Structure 1
Amino acid sequence: MWGKIIAGVIRLVMSFPRDENSQTIERKCIEFEDFFRFTLTLRSFDKQYSCIYLARLAALKEIVIERANSKWGQVHVLQLTQLATEDMFDNRCILIGTLYKHQELKPSILRELSEELQIAASPPSSYYYSDKDYVYLEDEMMRVKLTGNYVNTKDLVTGLVCAVLGHAMQNGSFWVEDYCFPGCCPKVSTSNLTTKINGKLLLVSGLDFVNYAQSMAFKLLVEYMTGTAGNRETQEEEASIVRVIIAGNSIRSSAEIHMSKGHARNKAQDLMVANETSIAVNRFDSFLNQIVQCCCVTLMPGQYDPTCHSMPQQPIHPCMLPKSSRYKSLHGATNPWIGRIGNRIVSGSSGQPIEDIMKVVGISKVCPLIWLERTLDWRNYAPTAPDTLPAYPYFDKDPFVMQECPDIYFVSNMEKYESKLYKGQEGQTVRLICVPEFSKTHTAILVDLQSLDTRPISFGGIS
């Protein structure tokens, strides 16, 4: 039953080798619910992408106005069209809208066409930021350029709904004194839930079965998750794992390289890549088959997995995993994903939204955890979609707008493990986690659902 809600379906009995003191250890079970927030029910590509921004602004506008009034007092909130009146010049006011960041280095269809037609083009860049970037604020009717010493383009990305405090200029721009974003979602009370917070969550990403399937770390990982490794203390910890989240790039962790010349050579390379992917999928299916017999697994796709490319990515189709998809303990999830494990709300992505933000701002030295935290303040899982991050053209809603405050919020396929306990202005507590690529770090992350403490577990560097 792929994609259904599962509650307490796995019980693993583990024991030591037979002796007089042999005792069994039963794996804990806990309720699980998928919110299905990012599941596509109707796939239609005949709408304009501007509808996403209009839906995003409509969802957050009143929230931003309320926060702006609380922060700045009773300053007049104006429509952008009202700035044209001459008596508004030099008078402080508040504008509400969506930010648009103009960047010359962003991906361009014209640039792609010039490359295909073998016209000279500027070399590609790993990031989109330059000193020539500038920012607009737009609403349903028009846009205005933002200026002033407070406008730091390195801290802003396209798609953010916000309020700006300042005044109109004679040249048609708007001088900004301060910003106000929607802020983190309020915490939902869990007092009505009877399920006790008990057990642990294991996070792993970037398995990359194309290149690293023969690593000893994979075998140790299987033994750990199936409860066949270690002494009694270790097995008790293994039995406390109520769910494993495999968060993307299980088949590949990097893009395929295609040659720009030679049709026959391209065709041969495509065939080789297809064969590699097919073999890797079979290996991954066998790997999963061992785990789902002993533990509940939530499987998210990643940027380089065989599924749709646009966000939100839909679950890997069960027909690709004939062995493991027979078990109800395997749950195919979207990317991003949000659901409930016990009374804990868990959400996260396979890495693309945070990686794209880092490209847009062009700051490589700032750790991804900072941008993960800022998405809570922006109240959006993927603010740069669909500008620089491919996304489905939603019409009447924007599912990337956060509707609840998660207890655990992760981003996977990062270079290294990092974690932080976020404290919101209204008492929200969120455990932020950067999950590293397992194929390169041989590290998984164990999260205690009761205390929200995290601990990296290393499976060595033996290949």
Structure 2
Amino acid sequence: MELENMAQSSFILNQLKQNQQPVSKGQKLELDIKQSNRFSLPSSNQNIKAQNSYIYCIRYLSMSKRFKIEHLKDSNFVEAIQNIQNLNGRVKVMGTIFKVMKLKPYYFQQYTEIKIADSVQNEEICYLEDKSGRIKLEFTNCQLNLPNNTSKTIKIEDLITGIVVMIEGQIVGNNIVNVQRINLPDFIDPPIYKPLNQTTYVCLMSGLNYDLENNTTKLRHLIQYLQGNLYFGYGNEISSNISQIIIAGNLYGNQRDAKSCLTGSIKQLQDFKQLYNQLQENIKGVDELLNELANIIPVAIMPGQNEPVSQMFPQSPLQRAHFGESFEKNTKIQFLTNPSEFNLGNIQFVGTSGQNIQDIKKQQNIKDQQDIDLIEMNLFYGHLAPTLHDTLIQQQQFTNDPFIIEQLPNIYFVGNMKKFGTKRLLNNLRIISIPQFSETGIICLVNLSTFECFSFEIQ
């Protein structure tokens, strides 16, 4: 088995060999992450009076400007939904999708035993809303027109709450439209990609799920690989040219026993003390791990679902107090928000730790869809987290909607997915699905000089 794994790694390295230019260790390029304040929380003394409807209105007004002008000039176009009441025949109208799901998994139910697959049922009802009213939508052989000039047939279970669309269909009853076509907003061009002159890599990973009681062999091998001690030849040259590590959420493992230890008897109190001690050991272990990583390569960390920070979106950076040893010994650790937007080597990155895509899965029929396809559709929607305020809870400090994609990045990555995947949608735009390292041992490497991306498995 060990020989088979070595052969597999050797094959991967040989595949990379043709595109890899040998560079000595002394020539490693130093890069700085320049994080924007797009997802940073406003000052706590700001008085926020806006309700969720205000955010939906901002989203609608912003997204409605991105539809092609020929749609607005169509004789069947109706500016407000309430005007449909007195019409017959074919109509075209803009609005926000809202799904009524019998088993909708609200965010306060996320820790119950309800499974994601159980929330998608045939009893779903779909509405289109704007500030003037709502209409009920029915679907018969409906086509979804995508911004990349392709289309596909969709059903009601393929839609999600919160996306702004333009529908075309036939009025079949009082405030009921049978939809034949759905149009999404136009794509915005990403910034120009400026390749670096020197070969350098960014290492993307997620889901370390550190747990001292479980086997940490993969993490030890990861450190050895980054040190250049695990492989030789071209594999060593790749690791020596990694200029930045980005961890997209879930440093800590999910403490599944916490729920049973919160209340009750003396035994439960004893269990809670034991769990508390385990948490302390895990926090200390993560601190030591980050210290080792940062001694090799600068590390940037995004919080995730398992981290000891607020679970409301966007998540604030992790507290430095949890990493006393790391900050005492080096300054190569940077804490990012989740989602995060930053510039690295003149390349624009946007990434999340996966909660936005996981929540979309709760509202969709995803049996035949890959994670990378969901990430692609996420960009097509023009919004990073359209299900916010419905099944994904958002911080209330914002008076705008920071999740609207006003400018496409060069690289959009999502952590804690099931499988690795990547697509180059445009010449200047790449999307990446990052699997959990604890489950797969996979890290993702992006060559900033060629814009290529590949996975590498740590055994």
Partners in 2 of 1:379 and 1:348 — Cα distance?
Answer: 14
TM-score (norm: length of structure 2): 0.83
Q: CA deviation at 1:299?
A: 0.2
- In structure 2, list runs of 5 or more residues that go unmatched: 1-23, 143-153
Quote the residue 1:345 is aligned against. Answer: 348
Q: Mean Cα displacement is larger for which, 42-51 or 197-206? A: 42-51
Q: CA deviation at 1:77?
A: 3.5
2:251 equivalent to 1:242: no
Alignment-mate amino acid for residue 138 of structure 1: E
* Cα deviation code 1:84-130 (max 9, x no counterpart): 2x2x211x332111110110101359989xx9xxxxxxx73323210
CA 1:111–1:27: 2 relative to 1, 3 Å:
closer
3-state SS of 1:148 partner: strand
- In structure 1, list runs of 5 or more residues that go unmatched: 1-22, 116-122
2:177 equivalent to 1:179: no
Partners in 2 of 1:110 and 1:436 — Cα distance?
Answer: 26
Matching of residues 56-135 of structure 1 within 5 Å: 56-64=59-67, 66=69, 68-69=71-72, 73=74, 75-84=76-85, 86=86, 88-90=87-89, 92-107=90-105, 124-127=114-117, 128-135=119-126
Quote the residue 2:19 is aligned against. Answer: none
Partners in 2 of 1:293 and 1:363 — Cα distance?
Answer: 41
Superposed CA RMSD:
2.8
Is the 2:78–2:84 Cα contact (8 Å) retained in structure 1?
no
Q: CA deviation at 1:82?
A: 1.2
CA 1:206–1:100: 2 relative to 1, 3 Å:
same
Partners in 2 of 1:283 and 1:231 — Cα distance?
Answer: 28
Partners in 2 of 1:58 and 1:265 — Cα distance?
Answer: 56
Quote the residue 1:138 is aligned against. Answer: 129
Alignment-mate amino acid for residue 139 of structure 2: G
CA 1:109–1:348: 2 relative to 1, 3 Å:
closer
> Aligned residues: percent identity?
25
Matching of residues 23-422 of structure 1 within 5 Å: 25-43=26-44, 47-64=50-67, 66=69, 68-69=71-72, 73=74, 75-84=76-85, 86=86, 88-90=87-89, 92-107=90-105, 124-127=114-117, 128-149=119-140, 150=142, 152-189=155-192, 196=197, 198-210=199-211, 214-231=215-232, 233-253=234-254, 255-259=256-260, 262-326=264-328, 327-393=330-396, 395-422=398-425
Size of the aligned set, in residue pairs, is: 418
Alignment-mate amino acid for residue 92 of structure 2: I
Is the 1:318–1:325 Cα contact (8 Å) retained in structure 2?
yes
CA 1:333–1:67: 2 relative to 1, 3 Å:
farther
* Cα deviation code 1:232-289 (max 9, x no counterpart): 5333212211111111111114654523973545444443333222211111111111
Quote the residue 2:433 is aligned against. Answer: 434
3-state SS of 1:82 partner: helix
Partners in 1 of 2:254 and 2:449 — Cα distance?
Answer: 32
Quote the residue 1:10 is aligned against. Answer: none
Partners in 1 of 2:434 and 2:390 — Cα distance?
Answer: 26
* Cα deviation code 1:44-100 (max 9, x no counterpart): 77642222212211221211364744xx9564242012112x2x211x332111110
Q: Mean Cα displacement is larger for which, 256-265 or 335-344? A: 256-265
CA 1:111–1:288: 2 relative to 1, 3 Å:
closer
Alignment-mate amino acid for residue 293 of structure 1: N
Partners in 2 of 1:172 and 1:24 — Cα distance?
Answer: 67
CA 1:67–1:359: 2 relative to 1, 3 Å:
farther
Partners in 2 of 1:195 and 1:26 — Cα distance?
Answer: 13
Partners in 2 of 1:53 and 1:266 — Cα distance?
Answer: 44
Is the 2:101–2:120 Cα contact (8 Å) retained in structure 1?
yes
Q: Mean Cα displacement is larger for which, 48-57 or 259-268? A: 259-268
Partners in 2 of 1:301 and 1:110 — Cα distance?
Answer: 20
Partners in 1 of 2:229 and 2:50 — Cα distance?
Answer: 52
Alignment-mate amino acid for residue 83 of structure 1: I
Q: CA deviation at 1:24?
A: 5.6
TM-score (norm: length of structure 1): 0.82
Q: CA deviation at 1:403?
A: 1.8
Partners in 2 of 1:295 and 1:110 — Cα distance?
Answer: 39
Is the 1:204–1:435 Cα contact (8 Å) retained in structure 2?
yes
CA 1:46–1:382: 2 relative to 1, 3 Å:
same
Q: Mean Cα displacement is larger for which, 310-319 or 145-154? A: 145-154
3-state SS of 2:296 partner: coil
Quote the residue 1:18 is aligned against. Answer: none
Q: Mean Cα displacement is larger for which, 361-370 or 269-278? A: 269-278
Alignment-mate amino acid for residue 450 of structure 2: S
Partners in 1 of 2:64 and 2:125 — Cα distance?
Answer: 23
Partners in 1 of 2:379 and 2:30 — Cα distance?
Answer: 30
3-state SS of 1:314 partner: coil
Is the 1:51–1:394 Cα contact (8 Å) retained in structure 2?
no
